[in-house]
Amino acid sequence: MRYNPVQTNFYKPHEEVAKMTNEQIAQVRLDLRVSATGSQIVAPVTSFAHLAHVLGREIMEGIRRHGYQQPTAIQAQAIPVALSGRDVIGVAETGSGKTVAYLLPMLVHAIAQPELQKDDGPIGIVLCPTRELAVQIETETFKFNKQLGMRSVTLAGGLSKLEQFKEVKRGAEIAICNPGRLIDVVKMKGCNLQRCTYVVLDEADRMFHMGFEYQVRSIVQNIRPSRQTLLFSATFPPKIEKLARDILQHPVRITIGEVGQAAANVQQFVEVLKNDDEKWAWLSQRVDGMLQKGQLLVFVKSIASAEELSQNFQDFLEKKTEFLHGDLDQGERMRILRNVRKRVVDVLIATDVAARGLDLPSISTVVSYDAARDIETHTHRIGRTGRAGAAGQAYTLLTGDDQNKKMAALLVENLEQANQAVPEDLKGLAMKYGPFRAAKLEGRTFLGKKKAGKVEKSSFGIGFDVASRQKETVQELAKRLDKEADQMAALNRQKASGGMRAGPNRMLAKTGFVSAAVAEAPKKPANEASFNLKHGPVMYVSVCVCVFVCVCVCVFVCVFVCVFVCVCVCVFVCVFVCVFVCVFVCVCVCLCVFVCVCVCLCVFVCVCVSVCVRVSAFGC
């Protein structure tokens, strides 16, 4: 299919940005904790005013009206890059403003394209994993597109498919979609992707985790190759990296902070408790203090736990509580989130269905009542606080079961990367997890995977000193070598007294040249060595006798078979042919018998010679 050309580059640097030297650009990125890799990357901006000439008056009015003061780190670098028409990989800590980073360039892109005709559109699509996130992105989009005269639609599960079909059929420049629902609407002829030139994958890791990889790839493969594609995620696992290689063209990778790390403005606390019963006692004593700072979000692992904890808050603490989980219909979900934003609710209890993408600025404290199943889920949980640069606190409650031991090990690394203090009881629980303990004692970084980490030269990261550990190991090895050298010398003296020459093992061990295999090999006891010296000849003579018997049996069988064949052939030939042929066959059979006997005797002689040589080695 032939596509019309599309304009994607709208960026012209502001004069202040254009005057920046490479050293100044590097310093700005360092201050923002931004890492940008790729070719010909435009400089970051430090103010929305640097983008006013590109974004236009209507978008700038929306920015001022909704209180956006200055770009966040991801916005400062990603917006100029996206406006210049480049594909983008954005890996940023949660709550960093990724939505605006791709939304503003998408609006500029959509405005510049030819007007949609009947049954055309959309121009830009945003793929996201959950309906809550889709509704949230639609809310952000509505802040700007109303003044621009543009339409946007939400195609998400849990909402009326018929209503969504009617909305998108009327035409829309922007569609915020769940992958499955977009495919359904396209199959229903509600829209097509022929005019789509701007594609965003938001929370890409979450979409893959929820099993949307096939749908995402199917959608992207049916969009024109000359599109502009932006991929945003809080983590960057190998599957997402492979997807980026497959669907992006010469992308600019923008990383904010450490990959998979929570926002630096979120203060993390980890409490190690004896059992699950202590969790409620711990939380109930601290709820009032937490609520003085703002609303509280509590994460649990199951629907039953959410209902039970919600009931406890209402019965014992008289707090206004709602619980959010996957079995609720969309109307109930939206009602709960609306109440949270209106601050009607004090405590929101949720399963991990709410762990990604939800923007609730009023949440000041997050408590992981039940530990997350992996560090990525944990990162997204605590990212529900500290939104848009605000300060937040996150508490994680752990007990001593095996799953929590692994999470404790992952949290130690996570806290160290964030330059936050690691509690001693958390270190103790982490050291009970075998792979973590082994990694630390060997000086490796624990990665939480089968692949071993790199050796660290400075420290183990949790209070252990590598140098002292290595020194201790060398001293222990020296003592062991001295001890084994003395044992070897004693054994050599014993051998020498028995007529055997003592070897140089003592000297080699003393000088440290004993190989690792020799040093680690277990030594045979003295009685085992004497057994070999005493009974070796008898054993080999016995083998010789057994071989002789076997050879005799083989000779007998060969002779018997040959004679039997000879008799049968002679009888047959005498009856049907002639005597001359009979004599010839008999001679051939006799030769075969002779050859078999010779071969067997040769084998027997070789075995006997070998046995005699081996027996003589024992001094017999």
Position 570 scores a pLDDT of: 66
H or E element: which one contains 35?
Answer: strand 34-37
Q: How many CA atoms within 13 Å lie on the side-chain side of 7?
A: 10
In a domain, 589, yes or no: yes
In a domain, 417, yes or no: no
In a domain, 429, yes or no: no
Instruction: Tell me the C-alpha to C-alpha distance, in Å, between residue 334 and each of 66, 133, 324.
Output: 22, 11, 10
Indicate whether 251 and 279 sit together in one domain. Answer: no
The answer for 461, left when phi > 0, alpha when psi is -120 to 50, beta otherwise, is: left
Indicate whether 271 and 238 sit together in one domain. Answer: no
Which CATH number do you get for residue 157? 3.40.50.300
How far is 86 from 89, CA to CA, in rounded Å?
10
Position 617 scores a pLDDT of: 43
Indicate whether 216 and 276 sit together in one domain. Answer: no
3-state secondary structure 268-304: EEEEECCCCHHHHHHHHHHHHHHHCCCEEEEECCCHH
- How many Cβ atoms are within 10 Å of 139's Cβ, its own excluded? 13
Residues whose CB falls within 8 Å of the CB of residue 364, separated by 6 or more in sequence, listed in order: 290, 293, 294, 295, 296, 385, 390, 391, 392, 393
Query: Which residue has tokens 């989130």?
Result: 337
**Nearest to residue 176, comparing CAs of 135, 231, 212?**
135
How far is 199 from 329, CA to CA, in rounded Å?
28
Position 376 scores a pLDDT of: 78
In a domain, 441, yes or no: no
In a domain, 407, yes or no: no
Indicate whether 361 and 473 sit together in one domain. Answer: no
In contact, 59 and 49? CB cutoff 8 Å: no
Last residue of a domain, one of 256, 291, 309: 256
- How many Cβ atoms are within 10 Å of 408's Cβ, its own excluded? 27
Indicate whether 54 and 190 sit together in one domain. Answer: yes
Which residues are 228's β-sheet partners? Answer: 198
In contact, 195 and 186? CB cutoff 8 Å: no
| Ranges under pLDDT 70 in the chain | 94, 258-264, 353-357, 388-389, 447-547, 565-566, 569-585, 604, 607-620
H or E element: which one contains 470?
Answer: helix 466-497
In contact, 381 and 368? CB cutoff 8 Å: yes
Indicate whether 44 and 186 sit together in one domain. Answer: yes
Indicate whether 280 and 190 sit together in one domain. Answer: no
How far is 227 from 218, CA to CA, in rounded Å?
15
Last residue of a domain, one of 460, 488, 520: 520
Which token pair is 340?
A: 């949270």
Last residue of a domain, one of 399, 417, 445: 399
How far is 227 from 124, CA to CA, in rounded Å?
10
Position 247 scores a pLDDT of: 94
Position 489 scores a pLDDT of: 61
Position 614 scores a pLDDT of: 53
Residues whose CB falls within 8 Å of the CB of residue 123, separated by 6 or more in sequence, listed in order: 109, 110, 113, 116, 173, 174, 195, 196, 197, 198
Sheet of 392-398: strands edge to edge?
Answer: 266-272, 392-398, 363-368, 295-299, 347-350, 321-324
In a domain, 2, yes or no: no
How far is 175 from 190, CA to CA, in rounded Å?
12
Which token pair is 454?
A: 């790199």
Pairing label, strands 252-256, 266-272: unpaired
In a domain, 439, yes or no: no
Which token pair is 94?
A: 């949660």
At residue 37, the 3 state secondary structure works out as strand
Position 185 scores a pLDDT of: 93
Which token pair is 500?
A: 């055997």
Indicate whether 75 and 174 sit together in one domain. Answer: yes
In a domain, 576, yes or no: yes
Position 577 scores a pLDDT of: 56
Position 54 scores a pLDDT of: 95
Indicate whether 137 and 19 sit together in one domain. Answer: yes
Residues whose CB falls within 8 Å of the CB of residue 260, separated by 6 or more in sequence, listed in order: 234, 235, 236, 375, 376, 379
Position 461 scores a pLDDT of: 35
Query: Which residue has tokens 């030594």?
Result: 523
Pairing label, strands 295-299, 347-350: parallel
DSSP string, 404-459: HHHHHHHHHHHHHHTT----HHHHHHHTTSHHHHHHHHTTBPP-SSSS--PBPSSB
How far is 411 from 417, CA to CA, in rounded Å?
10
User: Which range marks the domain in which residue 569 is found?
Assistant: 531-617
At residue 308, the 3 state secondary structure works out as helix
Residues whose CB falls within 8 Å of the CB of residue 187, separated by 6 or more in sequence, listed in order: none
Indicate whether 250 and 273 sit together in one domain. Answer: no
Indicate whether 567 and 608 sit together in one domain. Answer: yes
- Number of compact structural domains in the chain: 4
Indicate whether 292 and 390 sit together in one domain. Answer: yes
